[in-house]
Chains A and B, each alone.
Chain A
Amino acid sequence: MEKKFLILQKNTQDKMREKATTLYIGPQHPGITGNMMVKVQVEGDTIVRARTEVGYLHRAFEKLQERRNWLQSFTLLCRFCVPEPDPVEESYARAVELLEGREVPERAKYIRVLMLELARMGSYMLWYGGQSGSLGLYTIGQWTVGDRNYILDLFEELTGGRVYHMYIWPGGVRRDLPEGFADKVLRTMDYFEKRLKDYDDLMFENTIFQKRTQGVGVIPKEKAVEWGVVGPVLRGCGIKSDIRIDDPYEVYDKLDFIVPTHEGGDIWSRALVRRQEIRQSIRIIRQVIENMPSGEYYNRIPNPFKWTLPKGDAYARTEATRGEVAMYIVSDGSIHPRRTHFRGAAYVHGITLLEKILIGENVADISAIMNSLGVCPPEIER
């Protein structure tokens, strides 16, 4: 009887292997993140092989920037990664400043941090919706994406645009804070602090969410750095790594905040890291508002039509919600960039890492895993 069962089992397994099916997930937003395709081979509903296919959003920004001058290039930047455009703008601005040796006023640095942290919150609000939506919990998305509008309202008031801010540019920021803006930010923060409890109730306390995420999409801790894992995903593996601390920029070294980590390396730990980071962002924003110095907000660039940068290259890294993003610029001394390159966290997370960790997972979890890795296809293809 025992033996017969084993034979039966083996036969079934063989049959299944023969029947390994290829599934095409996408290109219609497989992870509610953007257009890309994951081609998976499944046995039953277990993935045995995964290949990504990208290129649906390739606009050749890096090529286009070569045709634009140093200032004009700046307007393209926010389109690199749509949910959170500000880190890209910031890293470009800082790379240019690094290459040129341009000083940035203290106030501008504080405003930049304010922007970055608001953007982080906005992006995490969208992530809440995506992460829970990919598991079938749609109510959370209704709340968080709806509440995200309050952050976008702040952006609109500060920069004049809801989604594309085009605000952080070389030399500082574009406009000073409008009157009464600090109070509005604080009020919004108060609101979010209250709401975060609701999100917890619905998401982290929810059995469905716990069961679907714990132990799913595990990244081994010892391999994580080598595989190029960065940001909240790496912190979700229990490794404390944050560019804001390791390679501090703007005024992050003057601010007091915690870098949360969680052992486990699964979706659940990553979600917990993000959950705590929102609280840290609120903390940073409060500090920034409190310590905001007065003075200049912009160190004027020369006439943009004749603005040249010295020969050389510069590389500036920024911590975004997806992890380390960076801008590499090369100047040949002319008014146009010789080459720019945007290093997105998703470039690594969305291709090699995803292909690795999808193996052995359930088909139904692809979307959740992609979301938890912060895969942002427009950032991969640029």
Chain B
Amino acid sequence: MMKELKEKIVQRIKANFADAAEKNDFNYNRLDFTVKKETIPSILFYLKDEMGFIHLSDANCVDWLEEGELELVFIVWSPKDKIKIFVRTRLDRDNPVMDNLDMIWPQLNTYEREFREMFGVQVTGLEAPDEFILEDWQGPPPFRRDFDTAAYAEKTFWERPGREDAQDVRETIANRDGEEIPDFAKKYSR
């Protein structure tokens, strides 16, 4: 039942959006579509207006630092079919630009503000104050993978002294028995 329904949805989407690559191997009520970023507004509109996926459950950004891309994930839910669809797209990490989508769902405005602030995504046509969560933030977009929050915290804030006598167990034992851990092995030490 569910399988047929999913199959039907896939057929319909594929018929309308040629570039949509589906992933349909979940054993629960979920479907994934990966599309080009230009297709995002039209596919979301289509899902919402034509196919009954009227509830935007979540919108997300994932930083794939190694691949040089940011992934946007929109999760929509159909109260009628009881299926959630993940719509994904990838943006160039160095120049991430997306279109404003808050005419589809007004709450996307908030998500977009967060993408802009936390991931440095430029949203063309977004009308909202510049600052969302952070205030007077001067560092890079903090949710990007290359922003090291621990290093920043150490640099910016104080840490209470008194814990300098801490020792490393592995090191203590190695020192005691004269073991020399080679450098290439150290990444496997804990």
Contacts of A353 in B (CB 8 A): 107
| Contact bitstring B47-58, A, C-beta under 8 A = 1, else 0 | 010000011111
- Asked if B149 is at the interface (CB within 8 A of a chain A CB), the reply is yes
* Docked complex: B135-150 residues within 8 A CB-CB of A: 135, 142-143, 145, 147, 149-150
Determine whether the beta carbon of A313 is less than 8 Å from that of B73: yes
For the complex, give the distance between the alpha carbons of A54 and B106 in Å.
18
- A238 → chain B, closest Cβ, in Å? 14
Determine whether the beta carbon of A60 is less than 8 Å from that of B60: no
* Docked complex: B103-149 residues within 8 A CB-CB of A: 105-107, 109-110, 129, 131-135, 142-143, 145, 147, 149
Report the contact-size class of chain A (Cβ under 8 Å from the partner).
Answer: 35 or more
Determine whether the beta carbon of A60 is less than 8 Å from that of B107: no
A226 in contact with B62 given A60-B149, A317-B57 (CB within 8 Å): no
- Asked if A338 is at the interface (CB within 8 A of a chain B CB), the reply is yes
Contact for A66 among B77, B105, B145, CB less than 8 A: B145
A228 in contact with B62 given A54-B132, A305-B190, A351-B110 (CB within 8 Å): no
- Asked if B28 is at the interface (CB within 8 A of a chain A CB), the reply is yes
- Asked if B22 is at the interface (CB within 8 A of a chain A CB), the reply is no
A343 in contact with B58 given A58-B133, A62-B143, A227-B106 (CB within 8 Å): yes
- Asked if B79 is at the interface (CB within 8 A of a chain A CB), the reply is yes
| Contact bitstring A339-370, B, C-beta under 8 A = 1, else 0 | 10101000110011100100000000000000
- Chain B residue with the shortest CB-CB distance to A382: B133
Contacts of B48 in A (CB 8 A): 226
Contact for A326 among B58, B82, B131, CB less than 8 A: B58
- Chain A residue with the shortest CB-CB distance to B102: A352
For the complex, give the distance between the alpha carbons of A309 and B142 in Å.
25
- Asked if B44 is at the interface (CB within 8 A of a chain A CB), the reply is no
- Chain A residue with the shortest CB-CB distance to B143: A63
Contacts of A246 in B (CB 8 A): 79, 82
- Asked if A143 is at the interface (CB within 8 A of a chain B CB), the reply is no
- Asked if B63 is at the interface (CB within 8 A of a chain A CB), the reply is yes
Contact for B142 among A63, A228, A313, A343, CB less than 8 A: A63
- B104 → chain A, closest Cβ, in Å? 9
- Chain B residue with the shortest CB-CB distance to A327: B58
A228 in contact with B105 given A54-B132, A351-B110 (CB within 8 Å): yes
Contact for B149 among A64, A226, A341, A356, CB less than 8 A: A64
- Asked if B90 is at the interface (CB within 8 A of a chain A CB), the reply is no
Contacts of A348 in B (CB 8 A): 107, 110
Contacts of B135 in A (CB 8 A): 55
- B149 → chain A, closest Cβ, in Å? 5
- Chain B residue with the shortest CB-CB distance to A55: B133
Contact for A227 among B73, B86, B107, CB less than 8 A: B107
Task: Please report the total number of B residues contacting A with Cβ < 8 Å.
Answer: 37
- Asked if A7 is at the interface (CB within 8 A of a chain B CB), the reply is no
For the complex, give the distance between the alpha carbons of A66 and B148 in Å.
10
For the complex, give the distance between the alpha carbons of A115 and B98 in Å.
41
For the complex, give the distance between the alpha carbons of A228 and B105 in Å.
8
- Asked if A24 is at the interface (CB within 8 A of a chain B CB), the reply is no
- Asked if A315 is at the interface (CB within 8 A of a chain B CB), the reply is yes
* Docked complex: A295-313 residues within 8 A CB-CB of B: 305, 313
Determine whether the beta carbon of B149 is less than 8 Å from that of A63: yes
Contacts of B109 in A (CB 8 A): 352
Determine whether the beta carbon of B142 is less than 8 Å from that of A60: yes
- Chain B residue with the shortest CB-CB distance to A344: B58
Contacts of A51 in B (CB 8 A): 129
| Contact bitstring A362-382, B, C-beta under 8 A = 1, else 0 | 000000000000000000010
- B139 → chain A, closest Cβ, in Å? 12
- Asked if B100 is at the interface (CB within 8 A of a chain A CB), the reply is no
For the complex, give the distance between the alpha carbons of A324 and B79 in Å.
13
- Asked if A174 is at the interface (CB within 8 A of a chain B CB), the reply is no
Contacts of B87 in A (CB 8 A): none
- Asked if B40 is at the interface (CB within 8 A of a chain A CB), the reply is no
- A7 → chain B, closest Cβ, in Å? 37
For the complex, give the distance between the alpha carbons of A64 and B55 in Å.
29
- Asked if B75 is at the interface (CB within 8 A of a chain A CB), the reply is yes
- Asked if A247 is at the interface (CB within 8 A of a chain B CB), the reply is yes
Contacts of A343 in B (CB 8 A): 57-58
Determine whether the beta carbon of B106 is less than 8 Å from that of A341: no
A247 in contact with B107 given A313-B73, A328-B60 (CB within 8 Å): no
- B49 → chain A, closest Cβ, in Å? 10
Determine whether the beta carbon of A226 is less than 8 Å from that of B82: no
Contacts of A226 in B (CB 8 A): 48, 54, 105-106
A228 in contact with B107 given A58-B134, A98-B28 (CB within 8 Å): yes
Q: List 7 A-B contacts (CB under 8 A).
A: A60-B142, A226-B54, A227-B105, A228-B56, A247-B29, A338-B62, A351-B110
Binding site for A on B (CB under 8 A): 28-30, 48, 54-58, 60, 62-63, 73, 75, 77, 79, 82, 84, 86, 105-107, 109-110, 129, 131-135, 142-143, 145, 147, 149-150, 190
Which 6 A-B pairs give the minimum distances between C-beta atoms? Answer: A55-B133, A228-B107, A343-B58, A348-B107, A352-B107, A58-B133
Q: A226-B105, A305-B190 are in contact. List 14 more A-B contacts (CB 8 A).
A: A54-B132, A63-B147, A225-B54, A228-B106, A241-B79, A247-B82, A313-B73, A328-B58, A328-B73, A330-B62, A339-B62, A348-B107, A352-B107, A352-B109
